[in-house]
Amino acid sequence: MKEGYRHEYKYLISRSAAELLRRRLPCIMERDSHAGLTGQYTIRSLYFDDFANKALDEKLSGIAHRTKYRIRYYNYTPDVLKLERKEKHGNLTRKTAQTISLEDARTLQQATDVPVSGDLAKELQQRCRWEGFRPKVLVDYDRTPFVCRDGNTRITLDENLRTRCCDAELFASPRAMIPVLAPDQVILEVKFDDYLPGYLAEALGDIPKAPLAISKFALCLSIL
């Protein structure tokens, strides 16, 4: 396997199947410590693409190796802002992340030449300057995460996927978001390093699920 890459599989499941996993997985996995008492948190991501929507076109065309950039924070509280570069090669993914300041986040969003800190932020700023990268879509969803040391496995249930029409403002009010999936649809994601433990594969085996060949980024852009 390519260095630093992980396996990643996505599925659409029903809300009833998601509820079954919410009861089943805590018996064999740990809850992500970042999820707090509720076991869930909200993710907001601002995705970038170039003037020709290259990242979107590559996704829809099934290009094997592709890259996306996003700024992400949690629970609508931008105390910690993460800039991430996600590389995809088939069902393998690799993520590079850097914590950025509020000022650098605004600089990248506005695509100005004000100096930013960190290699990844400088990389995206260069792509904004020379390739026309700009914020394209705002993506919100609620995640229930489970983790396991075996295989460094992470299983998440993502629901209430929503986006914002007309603009991609990182700090926009959550009240103006538009639902993207049907109310009964939940995205199941399964990520692991070299292997998926057999007992986890068995726990997922009887869950009716449809492979999802499209990303939240593309799903949200498709309705705008």
Domain parsing of the chain, residue ranges = 6-222
Specify the pLDDT at position 62.
Answer: 83
- Residue 168, pLDDT > 90, answer no
The pLDDT-based confidence of 36 (bands split at 50, 70, 90) is: confident
| CATH code, residues 6-222 | 3.20.100.30
The per-residue pLDDT of the chain, averaged, comes to 95
Contact (CB, 8 A) for 10 and 156: no
pTM for this entry:
0.95
Q: Closest Cα partner for 117 from 135, 132, 105?
A: 105
- Residue 207, pLDDT > 70, answer yes
Specify the pLDDT at position 43.
Answer: 98
Interatomic CA distance for residues 213 and 59, integer angstroms: 9
The 8-class DSSP code of residue 5 comes to: -
Interatomic CA distance for residues 100 and 83, integer angstroms: 7
- Residue 57, pLDDT > 80, answer yes
- Residue 4, pLDDT > 90, answer no
Task: Taking residues 169-189, report their average pLDDT.
Answer: 95
Specify the pLDDT at position 184.
Answer: 97
Percent of the chain with pLDDT over 90: 86
Task: Taking residues 167-177, report their average pLDDT.
Answer: 90
